[in-house]
Chain A
C-alpha cells in the first residue's frame, strides 16, 4: 500500500522546492514557521527529512563547514523527480477533496 505524506512532510518538500539551492535545516524550519505560524523543532524537521530521503523523495549532500555554524557543514537538500510527483499528487488529491466541500467550492485559486 502506498504511504501518504503527513502535512509536515508536504510542507518540508514545498519549502525545499522554494528554497532551491539553499535548502537546509535553518531556512526550511523558518519557511514552515512563517507559513504555518508555528515553530517546529529542528530535530522533528530532520526526522521527517530522513524519512523522505529513505523513500527517495529528497536527497542530501554535505556543504562546506562555515564559521557562523561553529565550523560545521550544512546538509543541503534537493527534491527528486519522485518527490515532485508526490507533491503534485498531494495537491491534486487535496484540491479534489476541497472542491467537494460545497461551502468552499470555488474559493481555491
Chain B
C-alpha cells in the first residue's frame, strides 16, 4: 500500500507545540485518516484544533505557567522595543542610511524580540510548551494592539498584519527548541 504523507510542516509543528494530550497515537490517527481524505486543508485544520485544544487544556490546568510565560515573554519582547522607541529612534534619525533600511531594521528588532521571547519561554516552560507559547502569542497581540498605535503610524490592515506576524514570530521561536519527550500511556 502506498502511503500518502500528510503535510510534513504541519506534523512538525504539532510535534513541537503539542501539549500533554498530543500523543503519537493521535498523530498516527491523523496519518491514517489522511490516507482516505488526503486534503492538506483538512490536515492543517486538524493540527490547528489539536494545538488549540491541547493548549487550552494546559492553560486551564496550569494557569501559573501561562501567567509566568506571559510576564517573562512580554518583558523579553518589550525591552528591545522600548530601547527602539525611547533611545535609538532619535539617534538613528541622524544616521545617513535610506529610510527603508532603518524601517526594516526597526521591524526586525520587533519581530526578532518576539521570536526570542517565544524561544526563551519555550525553554523555561518546557513541560507545558504549548500553553506557555500560545499564551505569550495571545498576550503579544493584545499588548501590541494597545502599544503599537501610539508608537507607529499604522493603518488597521498594517497593524493587524504586524500583530499576526509578531504572534507567529513568537510561535516560531517556541517551535525552535527540540521535540519534547513524550511518554505514552498504556
Binding site for B on A (CB under 8 A): 24-26, 29, 41-44, 46-47, 50, 60-62, 65, 67-70, 72-75
Are the CB atoms of B23 and A41 closer together than 8 Å?
Answer: no
Are the CB atoms of B29 and A42 closer together than 8 Å?
Answer: yes
Are the CB atoms of A67 and B50 closer together than 8 Å?
Answer: no
Tell me whether B33 is interfacial, beta carbon within 8 Å: yes
Docked CA distance A62–B183 (Å): 12
Report the minimum CB–CB distance from A34 to chain B (whole Å). Answer: 13
Docked CA distance A25–B35 (Å): 14
Binding site for A on B (CB under 8 A): 1, 3, 5, 21-33, 35, 45-46, 49-50, 52-54, 57, 184-186
**Given contact pairs A61-B186, A73-B184, A41 touches B29 in the complex (Cβ within 8 A):** no
Docked CA distance A64–B88 (Å): 59
Contact of A41 among B1, B5, B28, B49 (CB under 8 A): B49
- Interchain pairs with CB closer than 8 A, number: 82
**Given contact pairs A43-B54, A60-B185, A50 touches B25 in the complex (Cβ within 8 A):** no
B3: chain A residues at CB < 8 Å are 67-68, 70
Docked CA distance A98–B57 (Å): 34
Are the CB atoms of B26 and A70 closer together than 8 Å?
Answer: no
Are the CB atoms of A69 and B50 closer together than 8 Å?
Answer: no
